[in-house]
Amino acid sequence: MFSICQEEISKEIREADYLSEIADETSDVSNIFQMAIVFRYIVKGKPVERFWDFLTPLDHDAKSLSSVILTDFEKHIKDNKNKLIAQTYDGAAVMSGSSNGVQAIVKRTYEHAAFIHFYAHQLNLKFEETIKAYPFFDPPKIQTELNIIYETKEFRTISGILQLYDCISHNSDLCEVFSESLKLLKILITIPMASAEAERCFSTLKRIKNFLRTSMSQERLSALAMLSKERDLIEKGEILLEDIELSEEREISEGEMLSEAIELSEKREIKEAEILAGDIDVSEEKKIPEEEILSYDRIFPDNKKRSQ
């Protein structure tokens, strides 16, 4: 079930335009260093935050932490470096260091992965700073689009980024006209606003792994956390499992039918071979007396003449 949920999350990430990552670390009851990874992206016009896994870095330094994070990114992002737009950590120097922190190391690989501190939404700043953070925008076009949005009466009645995104994204003509604004809205929705989801993961960790279950394996811990955190995906997974079981049953029945057909064909071939062998035996029996007669005639040629 854990692998099925991860496959579903990976599928949602592949379909999303942008991705943000939230990570936080703690020590569990066994004094094992645990890092919770949560991904944020848009699914059907709504932002979701999905628990991905509990990871165990080899050390507490920036190199070890960034190594496990980058390994997870490679599974989802691969060649699309612009997909990761934000990384969210706490204010510890090992995570937020501007030169050798985790966020700096990650940004060397994913240059548009802006670091967002938990306590402030740093992109709610000036327009120029937002464009500078994500240089794949077309500045003149997006500025014109935003001016039109601000001056249009119909858009003034809309309150909130999600309502504005729904209004534009559900109209193909508006998507064409406000393409850069739609891109900006997707980014703003995808960027994490707080660390609540990562903190909830640690609450789940404490409930699952306590003093009575200190010897729990890492895979089992992540699987139980997934069952607790992502119940909607579990329901999808159960449906998927039913489909898999039905397909397996069909494959088994088809295999049984195929084996029966093979057995029948083999039996037919055996019968045909037996019949063919019987015909050969009969013909050989018929040939034997003829040979005996010929040999008799050679021995007694006078009898052959008398008979003629």
Residue 261 CB-half CA count within 13 A: 6
Give the model confidence (pLDDT) of 184-214 as tens digits.
Answer: 888 888 888 776 777 788 888 888 887 777 7
pTM > 0.75:
no
Residues 6+ apart with CB under 8 A from 106: 66, 69, 70, 73, 87, 113
CB 131 within 8 A of CB 142: yes
CATH class of 2-123+191-229: alpha beta
The residue extents of the domains of the chain are: 2-123+191-229, 138-187
Q: What is the token pair recorded at 114? A: 């802006």
Q: What region does 78 belong to: left with phi over 0, alpha with psi -120 to 50, or beta? A: left
Select from 18, 9, 69 the least CA-distant residue to 41: 18
> Strands across the sheet with 33-43, in order?
46-55, 33-43, 19-27, 84-89, 114-117
Which residues in the chain land under pLDDT 70? Answer: 1, 118-130, 195, 234-261, 271-308
Residue type, 71: T
Q: What pLDDT sits at residue 304?
A: 47
Q: What pLDDT sits at residue 258?
A: 67
Q: Can you list the alpha helix ranges (DSSP code H) found in the chain?
A: 2-15, 62-76, 93-96, 102-109, 127-133, 139-151, 153-156, 161-169, 172-177, 179-190, 196-208, 218-229, 231-299, 301-307
